[in-house]
Amino acid sequence: MRAERGGRGGRTWWHPPGTVAPADSASPVPPHGFRPGGRGAILGALALTVVAVALVASAWGSVRIPVETIARMVALRLGLPGAGVATWPASWETIIFTIRLPRVVLAGVVGASLALSGATYQGLFRNPLADPYLIGVASGAALGATAATVLRLPPSLYRYGATQWCAFAGALVAVAFVYGLARVGGATPLTTLLLSGVAVSALASAANSFLMYWYGDKLLVVYGWLLGGFTTASWSQVFQIAPWLLLGALVMVPSARLLDALQLGEEGAASLGIDVERLKIILVVVATLVTAAAVSVSGLIGFVGLIVPHIVRLVWGAGHRLLLPASLFAGAIFLILADGLARTILPIGEIPVGVLTALCGAPFFLFLLRRSKKRLF
Amino acid sequence: MAARESERGGREAAAGIVLRDLRFAWGGRAVLEGISLAVAPGEFVGLLGPNGSGKSTLLRLIAGTLSPAAGAMCVAGLTPGRATRRELARRVAVVAQTPILPDGFTVAELVLLGRTPHLRPFQGEGEGDYVVARRALTAAECLDLAGRPLGELSGGERQRASLARALAQEPTLLLLDEPTAHLDPGIAQGIMATLLRLNREEGLTILASFHDINLAAAIAPRLVLLHGGRIIADGPPAAVITPPLLRHAYGYDARVLPHPQTGLPVALPGYGQGVP
């Protein structure tokens, strides 16, 4: 009875029965305003840049080795056709394959891990200040590493340093705590998650500070680890963390569309049919694993996870389908270059790479920020 | 393909709302109590009530973003809570009062997000989705905004963009929470005209809450008045916009006159005893 007063009964507005679709529906042309394609081209170019930058950075150091020689050495090792025969001293092989290349690759994997997790966290929290250390990874890992040092755990535990294991475990425990504390009646509001992250981080930092104060003789070792770096890089470390990055990329990059939808707020995303709670826990778990793995081998390298996604966003826009994979490659490029500079810029010794990432990243970011008229979010 | 066709056939009946004795409480305090309401497919129903009367909560219950403490409900042929979120989002779309919109996205990208419930979680949009998005932009009368970043839009344009995103979900039922609350009267009128056209010409079922009593009376053929979490009136505007009901629900001392053109009720502030 009421239906008579409304529209024409139960006809759906979208597909009126018996009508032919309007003329424009035959045209597959996207409406003006859909971001132009070229995603594949951008990502391909970035991937090639990663390889090029890795070769160039391998050439840097006290022994100068030409880039094309390094390329041929790598091609020969990989058994690629056309590599020719070895015409270089055996010592170069040692320098490249046991010292420089593992370090360059490790820096790349860590940079990619931090930037990808950072982009995911920024999207998840809809907060430009979010970084992969936001909800407890950093303080948990630091506490784990400090504990391993002061407890004098054996330096090598199951093919992996005790510090690394404890940092990895500490990061996971801290984030698990944060997530558990933020859970209210089956839901985990993002604001609560942020605040409980701040609280747990403060608690872990306090415990960490106490340990460092009490065991003052270990201060330098712990502090060196906290600053972060790749001085102890080895292939085994690369193989320890690369699978985590692969797993993370296989989960995070395909979730880009859902992260886009999450930018409409939790309720907005839910009304689009997304199980927001499940999306949150999957992304937090994966991003935490990837970050914790990276931190366990490199220590706390700041800035990469915060700034690289912002730079990518300023250049190519806020859509996560390009932002996530582009951040992955850009993070690798950024940290390979930063670490290359960090180990060669001083005549003797190294600058901690975390210091260098801030030193060169911050001015570049400010330059982009001032030049761009775009809003970040 | 055949599955899609049969789904489409079923959708004609799957546009209405049936609520039976619905109850919702926040921490022991009842926000909604004994809500029974039937909205037939193709109806345009306006939801009225003072701040805190439960309008938004009722819309969230129907949208499935909140779950009732007690009572039975059937929304667009589905039971929220039993149907998946995705199934519900393919039939029910929501336009919020002040939607959260990412500034860096274009209107077209926002509208394509409306295709989310029709895509598998990791699937990208196809050409069909572009066609639907384009039609949604046309139906919401904002095709010209497609290329604009959301951060540059005015309040009215944001609401039109949100409406287009909702229409891209291809819903049978559209829920709007005070869609014109902060807009100038002319802009609000334009958006209401678009909604009315979608309802009359396309048969889209609409349930919208209103802040403006007179706008609701002018647009919706049927009004539902909420007060203290209960429905206290339900019927055509002339039966709901009355001085006693307005005084009871809003504490608003009003005179109600017929509109000179339409004859629909118009509430004006009364100047009786004790009112300056």
Distance (Å, rounded) from C-alpha A30 to C-alpha B127? 8
Q: What is the dihedral of CA B58, B62, B65, B67, to 10 degrees?
A: 80
Query: ∠ at Cα B175 (B171, B179), nearest 5°?
Result: 125
Start-to-end CA span in chain B (Å): 66
Predicted TM-score of the model (pTM)? 0.85
**CA nearest to A330, candidates A350, A353, A313:** A313
Question: Quick one: pLDDT at residue A2?
Answer: 37
Domain membership flag for residue A199:
yes
Distance (Å, rounded) from C-alpha A183 to C-alpha A197? 12
**CA nearest to A307, candidates A342, A255, A359:** A359
Q: Report the SS3 class of residue A135.
A: coil
Average pLDDT over residues A341-350: 87
Residues 310-329 of chain A with CB under 8 A from chain B are 313, 317-319, 321
Inter-chain CB proximity A33 and B146 less than 8 Å: yes
B254 within 8 A of B267, measured Cβ to Cβ: yes
**CA nearest to A30, candidates B124, B140, B195, B93:** B124
Inter-chain CB proximity A13 and B202 less than 8 Å: yes
Tell me the pLDDT tens digit for each residue of B181-236: 888 999 999 999 999 999 999 999 999 999 999 999 999 999 999 999 999 999 99
A308 within 8 A of A115, measured Cβ to Cβ: yes
Inter-chain CB proximity A375 and B109 less than 8 Å: no
Residues 96-135 of chain A with CB under 8 A from chain B are 126
Residue A313: list chain B partners with CB under 8 A.
Answer: 104
Q: Which of B42, B89, B124 sits opposite A9 (nearest CB)?
A: B42
Inter-chain CB proximity B113 and A272 less than 8 Å: yes
Inter-chain CB proximity A272 and B89 less than 8 Å: yes
Res A232 pLDDT > 80:
yes
Domain membership flag for residue A14:
no
Q: Could you tell me where the beta strands, DSSP code E, fall in chain B?
A: 17-26, 29-39, 44-48, 70-75, 92-95, 173-177, 205-209, 222-227, 230-235, 254-258, 265-269
Question: Mean of the per-residue pLDDT values for chain B?
Answer: 89
A34: confidence class by pLDDT, cuts 50, 70, 90? low
A339 within 8 A of A227, measured Cβ to Cβ: no
Residues 205-224 of chain A with CB under 8 A from chain B are none
The percent of residues above 90 in pLDDT, for chain A, comes to: 42
Res A208 pLDDT > 70:
yes
A39: confidence class by pLDDT, cuts 50, 70, 90? confident
Average pLDDT over residues B85-99: 92
Residue A369: list chain B partners with CB under 8 A.
Answer: none
Helices (H) and strands (E) in chain B, counts: 10, 11
Q: A185 vs B152, which has greater pLDDT?
A: B152
Question: Quick one: pLDDT at residue B273?
Answer: 60
A350 within 8 A of A229, measured Cβ to Cβ: yes
A219: confidence class by pLDDT, cuts 50, 70, 90? confident
Distance (Å, rounded) from C-alpha A67 to C-alpha A104? 14
Question: Quick one: pLDDT at residue B12?
Answer: 47
Q: Which of A31, A271, A275 sits opposite B130 (nearest CB)?
A: A31
Tell me the pLDDT tens digit for each residue of B69-80: 999 999 998 988
Domain membership flag for residue A88:
no
Total domains in chain A come to: 1
A229 within 8 A of A298, measured Cβ to Cβ: yes
Q: How distant is the Cα of A249 from the closest Cα of chain B, in angstroms? A: 13
Tell me the pLDDT tens digit for each residue of A119-131: 999 999 888 778 8
Q: Which of B38, B96, B108 sits opposite A34 (nearest CB)?
A: B108
Long-range contacts of B64-69 (CB under 8 A, 24+ apart): B64/A270, B64/A271, B64/B88, B64/B92, B65/A267, B65/A270, B65/A271, B65/B94, B66/B24, B68/B22, B68/B23, B68/B24, B68/B32, B69/B23, B69/B24, B69/B25
Segment (H or E) for B42? none
**C-beta atoms surrounding A65 within 10 Å:** 19
Distance (Å, rounded) from C-alpha A358 to C-alpha A302? 7
Q: A75 vs B2, which has greater pLDDT?
A: A75
Long-range contacts of A14-23 (CB under 8 A, 24+ apart): A14/B135, A14/B167, A14/B170, A14/B202, A15/B8, A15/B170, A16/B202, A16/B203, A17/B12, A22/B135
Q: Which of B43, B121, B167 sits opposite A6 (nearest CB)?
A: B43
Question: Mean of the per-residue pLDDT values for chain A?
Answer: 83
Q: How distant is the Cα of B257 from the closest Cα of chain A, in angstroms? A: 23
Q: How distant is the Cα of B189 from the closest Cα of chain A, in angstroms? A: 19
Inter-chain CB proximity B122 and A254 less than 8 Å: yes
Domain membership flag for residue A84:
no
Distance (Å, rounded) from C-alpha B17 to C-alpha B205? 9
Q: Where does chain A have alpha helices with state H?
A: 39-59, 67-77, 90-94, 101-125, 137-150, 162-182, 190-214, 219-227, 235-252, 256-262, 265-271, 276-298, 304-316, 320-344, 353-371
CB of A189 within 8 Å of any CB in chain B? Answer: no
Question: Quick one: pLDDT at residue A19?
Answer: 37
Find the closest chain B residue to A275 by CA distance: B85
Token couple for B45: 């129903």
B91: confidence class by pLDDT, cuts 50, 70, 90? very high
Inter-chain CB proximity A375 and B151 less than 8 Å: yes
Average pLDDT over residues A129-151: 86
Distance (Å, rounded) from C-alpha B189 to C-alpha A12? 24
A244 within 8 A of A137, measured Cβ to Cβ: no
Residue A317: list chain B partners with CB under 8 A.
Answer: 104
Distance (Å, rounded) from C-alpha A334 to C-alpha B200? 57
CATH (domain of A244)? 1.10.3470.10
Residue A254: list chain B partners with CB under 8 A.
Answer: 121-122
Domain membership flag for residue A115:
yes
- Name the residue range of residue A320's domain: 104-370
Q: How distant is the Cα of B147 from the closest Cα of chain A, in angstroms? A: 3
B93 within 8 A of B169, measured Cβ to Cβ: yes
Find the largest Cα–Cα distance for chain B. 67
**CA nearest to B15, candidates B223, B229, B173:** B173
Inter-chain CB proximity B42 and A254 less than 8 Å: no
Domain membership flag for residue A151:
yes
Domain membership flag for residue A57:
no
Res B4 pLDDT > 60:
no
Query: What value does the CA radius of gyration of chain B take, rounded to a whole number of Å?
Result: 19
**CA nearest to B72, candidates B139, B22, B134, B4:** B22
B203 within 8 A of B44, measured Cβ to Cβ: no
Inter-chain CB proximity A6 and B151 less than 8 Å: no
Domain membership flag for residue A299:
yes
